[in-house]
Amino acid sequence: MQLSDRLKKIANYVPKNTIVGDIGTDHGYIPVYLISKSIAKKVIATDISQNSLNKIINYVNSTNHMDNIENIEIRLGDGLEPIRPFEVDTVIIAGMGGLLIRDILDKDKTKRDSITYFILQPNIASRELREYLYENNFEIIDESLVKEDGKFYEIIYAKKGKSYVTKDIYYEVGEKLIHNKDPLLKEFIHDKIKRLKNIIIELEDKNTNKAKERYEKLNKEILELKEVLKEIESY
C-alpha cells in the first residue's frame, strides 16, 4: 500500500515493535501500514466518530489478504479515553488542530504520562502545542516538515523529559527543524512571512490601539523569522 508523504513521515517515526495508539485514525491507513510492514506489534485505532470508525472497519475488511490483521483493534471514544494506562508505548495524534491535540493530551495526565513516545501532527496552532509540550515536561526529540497539495505540515516527535526554548520564535518554528536543516524550512519560513505581510497590509487601514499592537507584534515576528533564516545559513 502507498501512503501519502505526510502519513509516511508520521509512520516513519514509530519505533519498531511498539504498541501504538492511533487517536483519531479516520481512514485507518496508518494502522494498516504499521501492521502490514511489521513495524508495530499492535495498533489500537480509535476515533470519536462512528462514521470514521466505519471507514477503518471497511478498509481493514478490504485488506483481508493481510496477515496479522487481528493486531489492529478498533475502538470508539474521545481522545485517550478508549486506551488504558500503560496499554500503548506510542501515540499518534495527527490531522487535527494543535489545541485539540493539546486538550487530548491534557485531559488524563496519568494516562498521558504512561505513554513513552508522542507523534503529533497539528494542522494549525503548532505554536500553542509546542508551548504546552515545553510547559508540561516533554522533550521534542525531532521534528520534520512535509508539503502536500501546497500546504505545509509539521510533525513533532516527543517524549517525556525536560527541555526548554531559548527564543520565543522557537515556539513558532521548531528548533529541531533548524538543527536538522529541514529541506523545506526556508520555504516554510518564507511562506509564513508572506502570510504575516498580508495581515499587516490589512491592518494598515485600521486605526485602533488593538490593530496597532497587532501590527507591531507581527512586524517583530517577521524580524524574528528573518533571524531564523540567517541562523539556517550559519548551520
Residues that bind ligand SAM (CB under 6 A): 23-26, 46-49, 52, 78-79, 94-96, 100, 104
Instruction: CB nearer to ligand SAM: give 100 or 222.
Output: 100
CB of 40 to ligand SAM, least distance (A): 15
CB of 182 to ligand SAM, least distance (A): 20
Instruction: CB nearer to ligand SAM: give 52 or 90.
Output: 52
Helices (H), the chain: 5-12, 29-36, 50-62, 98-107, 109-113, 126-135, 169-172, 175-179, 185-203, 209-234
**Partners of 102 in the beta sheet?**
none
Cα–Cα distance, 159 to 144 (Å, whole number):
16
Cα–Cα distance, 146 to 131 (Å, whole number):
21
Candidates 204, 176, 172; CA nearest to 189 is 172
Instruction: CB nearer to ligand SAM: give 151 or 226.
Output: 151
Instruction: CB nearer to ligand SAM: give 25 or 71.
Output: 25
CB of 207 to ligand SAM, least distance (A): 40
CB of 94 to ligand SAM, least distance (A): 3
Separation in Å, CA 21 to CA 72, 82, 121, 186:
10, 10, 14, 33
Instruction: CB nearer to ligand SAM: give 99 or 222.
Output: 99
CB of 26 to ligand SAM, least distance (A): 3
